[in-house]
């Protein structure tokens, strides 16, 4: 059982950076593999990145590989998404998600692998 709240979104210019944060409630944050998804207007929600419980393994969508970095600080119950070299096509609502628990590896891109979701934070990248 975990409650997630994203923050850090905003309006930025192409080529700049943002860091999103996802704060989790509860005492068992380290038991959850985590991920980031995003949804642009008129499009389905898509996978962005994922990280294992310990932070030792990560996975990225091809569209963000080399530009985005997912990380976590279990002492702070927080997962981050560092977004560099932002492009207009990165514009979307970004959602933090937690897995169902127990799994020790990195989760995949399927939404059903995640049991808990934040409310989302808007990222808008202008050209």
Residue 101, pLDDT score: 83
pLDDT by residue for the chain (127 residues), tens only, comes to 789 999 999 999 999 999 999 999 977 888 899 999 999 999 999 999 999 999 999 999 999 999 999 999 999 999 999 999 999 999 999 999 999 987 889 999 999 999 999 999 999 999 9
Dig out the tokens for 30 from the structure.
């380290």
Whole-angstrom Cα distance, residue 6 to residue 8? 7
In order of 20, 37, 45, the CA distances from 11 in angstroms are 13, 18, 20
Residue 77, pLDDT score: 94
Q: Are 48 and 61 in contact (CB under 8 A)?
A: yes
Whole-angstrom Cα distance, residue 118 to residue 24? 9
Question: Tokens 């850090």 label which residue?
Answer: 8
Residue 97, pLDDT score: 97
């Amino acid at each position: 059982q975990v409650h997630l709240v994203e923050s850090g979104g905003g309006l930025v210019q192409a080529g700049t950076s943002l860091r999103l944060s996802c704060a989790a409630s509860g005492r068992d944050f380290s038991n959850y593999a985590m991920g980031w998804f995003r949804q642009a207007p008129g499009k389905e929600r898509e996978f962005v990145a994922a990280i294992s419980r310990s932070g030792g393994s990560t996975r990225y969508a091809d569209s963000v590989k080399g530009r985005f970095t997912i990380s976590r600080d279990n002492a702070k119950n927080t997962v981050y998404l560092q977004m560099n070299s932002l492009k207009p096509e990165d514009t979307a609502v970004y959602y933090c998600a937690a897995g169902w628990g127990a799994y020790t590896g990195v989760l995949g891109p399927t939404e059903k692998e995640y049991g808990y979701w934040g409310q989302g934070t808007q990222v808008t990248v202008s050209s």
